[in-house]
């Protein structure tokens, strides 16, 4: 719910709703609060998946079986107390998989999460990231503070806690903006050359 620290205040102000996940109020008269939360989660997933472009070559079709309408209707019909229990993470799933999945995996405290790879990438290409933050297109457009991005990269390099996924998304957006600027420059240069060629031919 809190916007990233390297975003510029004016950008945050104008895009508050999407940056904070489109917050909503639970309706007093309507479906159960748990059902309202479920619908909000599905809506957030819908927006997230809509932002992912499909590959042209080779052509790809993506499916999301866990978002099947029948499955969601079944899950949403299960009483909340069966899904959420004090001190029992993923309670229903754990109970359903007893005897199928080894106890060591079934009863582990949290899912394994590999966050080392992006940090290694930052350390490996540190010179590139420093150079990138010297002049950021996203900064000139009023989206981020380049100094804050560099600070976040330094924290990641030292292994400190940082919103790594969001930081990498910021880096990817910066790369996209630079590529877009390059394409526009090439297009402008081509147009100028074509115009000069036409003028020279006319004079000849």
- Domain layout of the chain by residue ranges: 9-106, 116-203
For the chain, the residue count is 204
83 SS3 class: helix
**Residue appearing with tokens 């981020």:** 144
Residue 64: exposure state from Cβ atoms within 10 A (0-12, 13-18, ≥19): exposed
Task: Tell me if the pTM is above 0.75.
Answer: no
Q: Give the integer Cα–Cα distance in Å for 149 and 132.
A: 10
- CA-to-CA distance for 186 and 194, rounded, in angstroms? 12
State the helix-helix crossing angle for 116-124 and 146-157, rounded to 10 degrees. Answer: 110
pLDDT by residue, tens only, the chain of 204 residues:
677 889 999 988 888 887 877 777 888 888 888 888 888 888 888 887 877 766 667 777 778 888 899 989 998 888 888 887 887 778 888 888 899 989 888 877 765 444 566 777 788 888 888 898 998 889 988 999 999 999 999 988 888 888 888 888 899 888 888 888 776 665 655 665 566 566 555 555
Lookup: tokens for 22: 């489109």
Residues 171 and 134 sit within 8 Å (Cβ to Cβ): no
Cα separation of 187 and 185, whole Å? 5
User: How many angstroms separate the CA atoms of 8 and 140, rounded?
Assistant: 11
Measuring CA to CA, which residue among 33, 38, 32, 36 is closest to residue 69?
38
């Amino acid at each position: 719910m809190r916007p990233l620290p390297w975003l510029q205040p004016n950008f945050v102000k104008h895009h508050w709703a999407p940056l904070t996940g489109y917050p909503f109020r639970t309706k007093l008269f309507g479906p159960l609060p748990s059902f309202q939360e479920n619908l909000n989660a599905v809506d957030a997933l819908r927006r997230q998946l809509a932002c992912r472009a499909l590959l042209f070559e080779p052509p790809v079709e993506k499916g999301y079986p866990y978002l099947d309408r029948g499955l969601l209707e079944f899950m949403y019909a299960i009483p909340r107390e069966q899904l959420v229990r004090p001190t029992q993470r993923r309670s229903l799933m754990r109970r359903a998989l007893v005897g199928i999945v080894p106890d060591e995996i079934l009863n582990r405290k949290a899912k394994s999460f590999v966050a080392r790879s992006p940090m290694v990438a930052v350390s490996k290409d540190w010179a590139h990231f420093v150079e990138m933050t010297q002049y950021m297109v996203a900064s000139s457009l009023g989206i981020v503070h380049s100094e804050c991005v560099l600070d976040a990269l330094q924290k990641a390099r030292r292994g400190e806690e940082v919103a790594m996924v969001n930081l990498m998304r910021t880096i990817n957006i910066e790369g996209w903006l630079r590529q877009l600027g390059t394409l526009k420059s090439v297009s402008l240069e081509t147009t100028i050359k074509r115009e000069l060629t036409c003028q020279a031919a006319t004079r000849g």
